[in-house]
Amino acid sequence: MFWFTSVVVLLIALSANDVDAAKRFGKKKNKPWEDSDRDSENDLLVTKKVFFEMEIDDEPAGRVVIALFGDTCPVTVQNFAAIVRGNWRQDKRLSYNNTQVHRIVPDFVIQMGDVTEGDGTGGKSIYGNFFADENFYLRHWGPGWVAMANSGPDTNNSQFFILLTRARWLDGKHVVFGKVIEGMDIVDKMAEVDADDNGFPLEPIRIVDCGIIPVPTPYLIANPDAEPSQEKKKDKKKQ
């Protein structure tokens, strides 16, 4: 099962081509909206938004909207957004459409995004089988944060998870790249579905439609879950 670093005994190595691809797509350029006074943990730049129309036990459940932080994690966001749109690779289309939630851990996470096998044993990226951990700038601050699932360092593909709670012990192990900004009630509803001993839902939970929501101009949002920076803590003490 493609899962968290702390519970996986098999580590899958990145190929040299996958590493090179990730590096090529990871080169950052200065953006006109970059601000030297910006606090990376408290001011987050939304560059894209995606939606997932969810279905639980063959009944419509509602829409989940995720804000993506492409200025912070351009490689990861490009992979995620491309699979949301549907990406052709080696005569096979990689798409989250019609894939299912394959793991529920109550009060912790729901996991999905296996675009090849559908059961958590597969997945694929637009760069190859896997791509490298881009950075760990964003944290597992609380419910709604979205991160890449993996089986060890540098084994990201298409699988991802949505947090149901704060999980700072995952910091430095998984790349956080987005946050649910609409439909967290739908996420909570999915998390209430009973699962077997492996976390697989006993009622099917599927993505029946997905797509990109245009963001003509990237914009900053406040991060209410982040702790105040050291500078802000000092300012408060002075006051």
Catalytically annotated residues: 103, 108, 111, 150, 161, 170, 174
What are the angstrom distances between the C-alpha of 234 and each of 225, 229, 230, 239? 19, 9, 6, 9
What are the angstrom distances between the C-alpha of 30 and each of 27, 37, 66, 220, 224? 10, 15, 24, 16, 26
CA dist 104 and 234 (Å) reads: 40
CA dist 116 and 106 (Å) reads: 25
CA dist 171 and 118 (Å) reads: 26
SS3 205: strand
The set of residues, in sequence order, having a beta carbon less than 8 Å from that of 42 and lying 6+ positions away, is 222, 223, 226, 228, 229, 232
CA dist 209 and 85 (Å) reads: 10
